[in-house]
Amino acid sequence: MTETLTGTDRSAGISYDELFDNDTHPVSEALRRVGEHPPGNTRVPARVYYAQDVHDLEVERLWSRVWQLACLEEEIPEVGDYHVYDIAHLSFLVIRTAPDQIKAYRNACLHRGRKLRETHGHGAANLRCAFHGWCWELDGSMKEIPCQWDFPDVDMADYGLPEALVGTWQGFVFINPDRNAAPLGDYLGDLADHFEFVPFERRYKAVHVQKLMPMNWKTCQEAFMESYHVVATHPTLMENLGDANSRYDAFGNYSRAMSAHAVASPHLGDAPRYERLADGKQFARWRHPMNGHIYERVGESRVSVTDTDGNVSIFDDDGNHIDGPQTQADPHLCKWIGGPLLAGMEDVPLMTPDPPPEVTNVRGWIADQKRAQVREEMGDAVDVDAISDAEMIDAIFYSVFPNWSPWGCFNPIMYRFRPNGDNPHECIFEVMLFPLAPPDPDDRPPPATVHHLGLDDDWTLAPQLGPLAKIFQQDSLNLPLVQKGLRAQEQQEVIFASYQETKIRHFYHHYFEWLGPALDRSNGAVDAASETAVGVTTPRNGSRD
């Protein structure tokens, strides 16, 4: 690995300002906008990732008070349509109560506590509990109590369903259990400026995969907030992604990362550059960019690694040595080559750009190919000539506190991270894809239903993810071991990079403010006596910086 110590606060290599200045198309003001976060290393106690009392504090101080994405407006299009949104042990029923009104109620009967609805549904005329039949109108007012004579102390006028705040943004429905919170618009600030060219109203949910993961929701989320891990985890990206040259910005309640396409990793530095494999395969035969070793699939869970002297060794898809003189291999490239594949993947040719020799601006060349594709699909519905190369092809990914990550412009990816009930060692990782919708509204597909994957299911069991499944395979090799290693640490502390982990540091700036003095940020200890969970007022202005 090439050391990238430069004596500055950035890695060696081309900067984003230079990329913007050389862009073949206009660069938007929002893309050029700088969002600084104070420099320095943020230290986080390891306990926040596994302690039950910290999880319980998150429920009381965070999930009970913050704006969070619940569903799409399209998923509840008609009056009486509803969506169940669960977060930890909390449950909310998001329901369309009128053509232009959506409400959210605590999803629990006021009699004996049974959930009013277990899953999403359509066309409810009222909300009747399936246990004893207590019933509410769609507007939350009480409709009837069977054997009402037996409840002389219950005034039906006082037994409306408790509500959460509801806000909408570009077709998404957000809820906030704190009825005193500031409006959603104040919380999101100017986020819409970053989605000017392709707002989400012009997209549709084509894919929704929900996977149980054996780690804390923060452990999982942090892996998708930086490109610092690319050099060790995703070697197949290094020749075509400026990982350590990524730019990071923090704005109010959201942050942004930008990783340049068609720019080599600065970790490659002056290392030897190897010829493109003429018989290379994207998922079955690949040359490691760091050492030139060739990894080739020789069956599921079996990879041959040929070093530069022609010696061949065999490994399994976790990088464990089986045979041959070389005893160590890159486990993530072994997983990429030897892990489960979708049908036909073995024969996919290399997907890294291979421009003709006369092309001098590879980024512009790739962006123009994307523009041509969008023109063919969308006609003049999208003015691609007004959009920069960076927005056409780069990985531009946002994190909206606390757990929502939409990607920018033409990249359809979106993530959401939630704890799995009250288990701090498991989470629900959701991957959604929002491509452009057809220009004719009549051709707009309905939102995709959720495809569930269990703890032990491989990502390729969700074939609608396509090649993304292979990326998640590599990340999933790390994350369970991170969760286990956090408890094994002697120092019981995580330290985050000043710049490349800006988004994570920005997250924890907000996180510690929301949890307040009841959580000691030096050791993660929860002191319930320092501030009772009930009645604590947390600042609710749109920005917490």
- At 425 the pLDDT is 98
Q: How large a percentage of the chain has pLDDT more than 90? A: 91
pLDDT at 8: 63
Convert the pLDDT of each residue in 267-316 to its tens digit.
Answer: 998 778 898 999 999 999 999 999 999 999 998 899 999 999 999 999 99
Answer whether 81's CB lies under 8 Å from 173's CB: no
Tokens 């594709």 -> residue? 373
Handedness of CA 281, 344, 337, 1 (dihedral sign): positive
Strand, coil or helix: 365? helix
Write out the two tokens for 205: 């949910």
Q: Tell me, what's the pLDDT at 314?
A: 98
Q: What is the mean pLDDT of the chain?
A: 94
Amino acid 12: pLDDT: 73
CATH code matching the domain that covers 16-53+194-263+375-521, chosen among 3.40.190.120, 3.90.380.10, 3.90.420.10, 3.40.50.300:
3.90.380.10
pLDDT tens for each residue of 219-267: 999 999 999 999 999 999 999 999 999 999 999 999 999 999 999 999 9
pLDDT at 409: 87
Tell me the three-class secondary structure of 469-510, residue by residue. Answer: HHHHHHHHHHHHHHHHHHHHCCCCEEEECCCCCHHHHHHHHH
Supply the pLDDT for residue 544.
33
Determine the pLDDT at residue 285. 98
Contacts of 307 (CB under 8 A, 6+ apart): 291, 292, 293, 313, 326
- Amino acid, res. 380: D
Instruction: Tell me the domain boundaries of the chain.
Output: 16-53+194-263+375-521, 68-180, 285-347
At 309-340, the pLDDT tens digits run 999 999 999 999 999 999 999 999 999 999 99
Which numeric CATH code is attached to 68-180? 2.102.10.10
Structure tokens at 219: 């452990």
Q: What are residue 433's phi and psi, to 5 degrees?
A: -120, 125
Whole-number Å distance between alpha carbons of 515 and 534: 13
Q: Is there a contact between 517 and 531 (Cβ–Cβ < 8 Å)?
A: yes
Cα distances (angstroms) measured from residue 175 to each of 27, 288, 306, 430: 34, 46, 54, 18
Residue 277 CB contacts under 8 Å (≥ 6 apart), including other chains: 285, 286, 287, 294, 350
Same fold for the pair 16-53+194-263+375-521 and 68-180: no
Q: What are phi and psi of 23, to 5 degrees?
A: -65, 140
Give per-residue pLDDT as tens, 432-457: 999 999 999 999 999 999 999 999 99
